[in-house]
């Protein structure tokens, strides 16, 4: 993967920069009459990203080019698949789930005409075991994408360098032939989670990593200077595409 870094003290500017690139990719797919597939991260940054995406996608589909029959064929719907980088293995009614929060951010798009949003949610303990939930998500990813890459993967780096639920030192953080993995000993509660795997996340046209706040400096330096940590594994696994580091940290 080719790596670039964007530094700006404003989180809003960084989010807008990444969202603009993501929306451009979504738009390109729709102009080719294809569905788009993106991966979103959770947390405060993830919610801000989702809200900004909601606004900008809504603006796009109401712009003149997308009102043209050459873009939206008769009877056709613009489709956006939204995958979640990782998820707590808890009830679907849990308000702390990543998907619950992010889905709520798409207020405008959920009401938009001619737009179909497909949210891919990880199963709950009420339905199956943790391993079964990871296997089900893996099958869903493989069935929906087949050999196709994600159009954009948006992730946030933790203070220990983790992305999604791929934590340093855990066996599930390494390379995997599966598209999703089960995590039963996450150092960040809750212990049980499902995460898209390193190799599946890296199979994307673009990977955007947010490293925001002084607490991320050490982990970011470990990656940029020593090429270690989960982000380094993403870089190693990504034989195609680009990686952009969005940070408010100056060297």
Two tokens at 11? 């989180």
pLDDT of residue 135: 98
The percentage of residues in the chain with a pLDDT greater than 70, rounded to a whole number, is 95
Q: Cα–Cα distances in Å, from 192 out to 85, 93, 101, 147?
A: 14, 16, 19, 28
Q: Does the residue 93 lie in any domain?
A: yes
Q: Tell me if the pTM is above 0.75.
A: yes
Segment 13-38 shows an average pLDDT of 94
Residue 150 domain-assigned (yes or no)? yes
Task: Return the CATH number at 87.
Answer: 3.40.50.1360
Report the domain count for the chain. Answer: 1
- Selected residue with higher pLDDT from 89 and 74: 89
Better-predicted residue by pLDDT, 62 or 116: 116
pLDDT at 74: 53
Domain-embedded: residue 231: yes
The verdict on residue 102 lying in a domain is: yes
Supply the pLDDT for residue 113: 83
Residue 83 pLDDT class (50, 70, 90 cuts): very high
Looking at the predicted structure, is the pLDDT value of residue 154 above 90?
Answer: yes
In order, the DSSP letters of the chain are -EEEEEE-S-HHHHHHHHHHHHHHHHHHHHHTT--EEEEE--HHHHHHHHHHHHHHHHHHHTSGGGGSTTTS-TT--EEEEEEESEEESS-TT-TTSHHHHHHHH-HHHHT-TTEEEEEEPPP-TTTS-HHHHHHHHHHHHHHHHTTPPBSEEEEE--TTS-BTTB-TT-GGGS--SSSEEEES--SSSSS-EEEE-HHHHHSBSEEEEEE-SGGGHHHHHHHHHH--SHHHHHHHH-SSSEEEEEES---
Average per-residue pLDDT for the chain: 92
Tell me what pLDDT residue 64 has.
Answer: 63
Better-predicted residue by pLDDT, 101 or 2: 101
Which of 19-23, 69-73, 109-113, 244-248 is least confident? 69-73
Lowest mean pLDDT among 57-66, 178-187, 200-209, 241-250: 57-66
* Cis peptide leading into residue 155 (ω within 30°): no
In a domain, 67, yes or no: no
Percent of the chain residues topping a pLDDT of 90: 84
Distance CA(159)–CA(211), nearest Å, equals 9
68 located within any domain = no
- pLDDT digit string, tens, across residues 193-227: 999 999 999 999 999 999 999 999 999 999 999 99
User: Residue 70 domain-assigned?
Assistant: no
Which segment of 11-20, 29-38, 208-217 scores lowest on mean pLDDT? 29-38
Domain ranges, residue 230: 2-62+78-247
Per-residue confidence at 77, pLDDT binned at 50, 70, 90?
confident
What pLDDT score was predicted for residue 70?
Answer: 54
**Which tens digits make up the pLDDT trace of 97-150?**
999 999 999 999 999 888 999 999 999 999 999 999 999 999 999 999 988 999
């Amino acid at each position: 993967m080719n790596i670039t870094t964007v530094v700006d003290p404003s989180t809003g500017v960084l989010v807008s920069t990444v969202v603009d690139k993501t929306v451009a990719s979504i738009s390109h797919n729709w102009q080719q009459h294809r569905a788009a597939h993106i991966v979103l991260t959770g947390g405060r940054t993830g919610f801000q990203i989702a809200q900004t995406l909601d606004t900008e996608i809504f603006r796009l589909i109401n712009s003149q080019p997308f009102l043209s029959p050459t873009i939206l064929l008769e009877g056709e719907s613009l489709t956006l698949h939204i995958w979640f980088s990782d998820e707590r293995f808890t009830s679907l009614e849990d308000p702390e789930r990543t998907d619950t929060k992010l889905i709520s951010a798409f207020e405008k798009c959920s009401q938009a005409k001619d737009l179909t949003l497909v949210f891919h949610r990880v199963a709950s303990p009420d339905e199956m075991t943790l391993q079964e939930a990871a296997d089900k998500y893996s099958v869903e990813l493989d069935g929906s994408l087949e050999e196709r890459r994600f159009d954009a993967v948006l992730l946030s780096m933790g203070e220990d360098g983790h992305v999604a639920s791929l934590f340093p030192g855990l066996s599930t953080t390494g390379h995997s032939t599966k598209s999703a993995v089960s995590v039963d000993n996450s150092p960040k509660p809750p212990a049980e989670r499902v995460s898209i795997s390193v190799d599946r996340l890296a199979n994307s046209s673009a990977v955007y990593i947010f490293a925001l706040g002084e607490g991320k400096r050490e982990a970011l330096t470990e990656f940029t200077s020593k090429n270690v940590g989960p982000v380094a594994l993403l870089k190693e696994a990504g034989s195609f595409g680009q990686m952009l580091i969005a940070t408010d940290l100056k060297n």
